Amino acid sequence: MRCPAVLGKILTARARQAFFSLVNSAVRRLPSALLGLALLGVAPPVPAADVWTHYRGNSHDGVYAGAIRTNWSEAAPRRLWRIPLGAGLSSFSVGGGRLFTQVVRRTGNESREFAIALDAATGKELWAANLDLADYPDGGVGSDDGPRSTPTVDGDRVYVFSSYLRLHCLEAATGRVLWQRDFRTELGATVISWQNAASPLVIGDLIFVNANTSPRRLTAIRKTDGTTAWRNHDDRMTQATPTAATIGGVLQVIFFTQTGLVSVRPDTGDALWRFSLPYSTSTAASPVVAGDTVFCGAAYGSGSGAVRIHAPTPGAAGSFTTTELWKRRAANQLHWASPIQHDGFVYGVFGQSSLSLRCVEIATGNVRWQALDNFNDPNFIDYGSVLKVGGHLLVLTASGKIILAELSPEAYRPIEIFQALDNDPKCWNVPAINDGILYVRSTLEGTAFDLSMPQPAQPLVLNPGSVSSAGKIQLRVGTADGSPVSAERAANLRLITSPNLTVPTAAWTDSNLSPLQANGDLYFEPVVNTDEEFRFYRIRENP
């Protein structure tokens, strides 16, 4: 018995021209006997790791490093779902195929803050956990006011810090409360005006919050059981979420407090360095780290500033020191959203009553450009927010537009735009992005768009089936990773054949057969010619 010749080839992308996929099959004169096949194996794809488990992403800086599709004018981003949500200013976090956010809902005669989980693929609500009072007496937002903090995902747990300073640990799959801390009841914590807006920061085994529990307000909580690891420093809380960064080779947690920036060691809470900035009314934007320099800003006359951090010489005695680069009380105020940094510049929504998108040089505080009137809308940003996505500036405007622009200090150069949410939305919520899917919230709705790069088509393979009494052999069509062949792709498949494997592919004969489908199988059924010793088959995929 002869052994069949076997040819293997991997196709890595679907080209515009026709290409070929191997059929590893040869048929002997005896139609009931099939020879063994040698197939070139392809490992199944590895699921992408979640990169948006925290407010503003795992790197705490509003940066998504993955590539996205940017030709929105040619093909508009595909909406995956859109759902109504309870009121709130919370963003989304993502983990294990679920989205987490916070909303206001009525229960009985009372408004309550709920943490909710959604199916990331469909937007379907999976659970809702009733956590705390929903009461916002300070005004300024409107009837759609609600929780401002964003849940943090860590494995099979979710951590939520409510407006009234309750820290909850929830089971990610069910929303069941595993433990909770009420810092007001336990330690006499003070709730500031406009309540808490800071999200929990998880590093290793610890959760970091400013619990505002005088005289030791900065707090680290053990994430396993909710016990206190340390409390330190009497720096009053603001609405700003702390950030983590490595500066001078040292991992540190940077809090933006009413006295300014306070950087601490995660394990002990010992202060590494400080930078003062005036406080008035509220501070909401997180500090921005660019190498050894930290930028920060607030509104209500506080202004902004930048500080350079100097680490001690390795092996020498000493501590961190700082050099103030600049500080301007009225310039470049940050009212709500945190900016992003790129190549020594910060990009964000600056101002208070009059807002604009600006590019500011970190080293000097000089404004390189600002966009005031674009897309025929004088308030086109308003209380919007920014991310750095795929090397571009992604802007969510308060009116629900998504703008893609260049990250350039030379000028504001928008590239693409589409309307993500309408019906008079208020999109003060920072968007989230994970595995190429953009999640957008307004105070009352949520939606998701697919911005992922097109995936190369999986190589096709042909698997032999039985030979029927009518003398037909069933050749089943599949993909290298086992994923189904789409109907659109199946319609473009042709079975070509040759009695000689050495004949150039272009000279193979079209069998004039269309693929059949039954019981979920896609297959061709050529007739076996028993006068031939060998017959070879391939699939041709037309463009």
Per-residue pLDDT, 469: 67
In this predicted structure, the answer to whether residue 276 has a pLDDT above a threshold of 70 is yes
- pLDDT at res. 9: 28
Give the model's confidence band at 35: pLDDT under 50 very low, under 70 low, under 90 confident, else very high.
Answer: very low
Find the mean pLDDT for residues 268-294.
96
pLDDT in tens, 196-233: 999 999 999 999 999 999 999 999 999 999 999 999 99
Determine the Cα–Cα distance for residues 164 and 161; give it in Å rounded to an integer. Answer: 8
In tens, the pLDDT along 377-413 reads 645 788 999 999 999 999 999 999 999 999 999 999 9
Position 160 pLDDT exceeds 80: yes
Task: Taking residues 481-487, report their average pLDDT.
Answer: 83
Q: What is the pLDDT of residues 493-541, one digit of tens each?
A: 989 988 888 888 888 999 898 899 888 789 898 988 777 777 888 888 8
Confidence of residue 70 (pLDDT cuts 50, 70, 90): very high
pLDDT of residue 251 exceeding 60? yes
Burial of 450 (0-12, 13-18, 19+ CB in 10 A): middle
Ordered structural domains, the chain, with CATH: 19-40+455-541 (2.60.40)
The pLDDT of residue 250 is above 80: yes
Given this model, what pLDDT does residue 363 score? 96
Residues 6+ apart with CB under 8 A from 139: none
Pick from 30-39, 365-374, 396-405, 527-536 the range whose average pLDDT is largest.
Answer: 396-405
Strand order in the sheet with 98-107: 93-95, 98-107, 110-119, 125-133
Element of type H or E holding 488: helix 487-490
> What percent of the chain lies above the pLDDT cut of 90?
66
Q: Summarize pLDDT for 305-347 with one digit per residue, the tens.
A: 999 999 987 766 678 999 999 998 788 999 989 999 999 999 9
Band the pLDDT of 5: cuts 50, 70, 90. Answer: very low
Q: Confidence band (pLDDT; 50, 70, 90) for 373?
A: low
Residues paired with residue 386 on neighbouring β-strands, in sequence order: 395
> How buried is residue 98: exposed, middle or buried, by Cβ count under 10 Å (0-12/13-18/19+)?
buried
Q: What is the pLDDT of residue 47?
A: 61
Asked if pLDDT for residue 90 goes beyond 90, the answer is yes
Residue that wins the pLDDT comparison between 537 and 184: 184
Q: Are the beta carbons of 360 and 313 closer than 8 angstroms?
A: no
Three-class secondary structure of residue 112 per DSSP: strand
- What burial letters (b/e) apply to 174-186, b meaning 16+ CB within 10 Å? ebeebbebebeee
pLDDT at 317: 65
Average pLDDT over residues 179-191: 97
pLDDT for 414-431, tens place per residue? Answer: 999 999 999 888 999 999
DSSP 8-state code for residue 489: H
CA distance linking residue 54 with residue 246, whole number of Å: 17
Q: Are strands 385-389 and 63-64 parallel, antiparallel or unpaired?
A: parallel
What average pLDDT is seen over the chain?
Answer: 87
- Residue 359: CB atoms within 10 A of its CB come to 24
Query: What is the C-alpha to C-alpha distance for residues 413 and 348, in angstroms, rounded to an integer?
Result: 14
Q: What is the pLDDT of residue 304?
A: 95
- Structure confidence at residue 39 (pLDDT): 26
Give the model confidence (pLDDT) of 18-29 as tens digits: 333 333 333 333
Residue 71 has pLDDT above 50, yes or no: yes
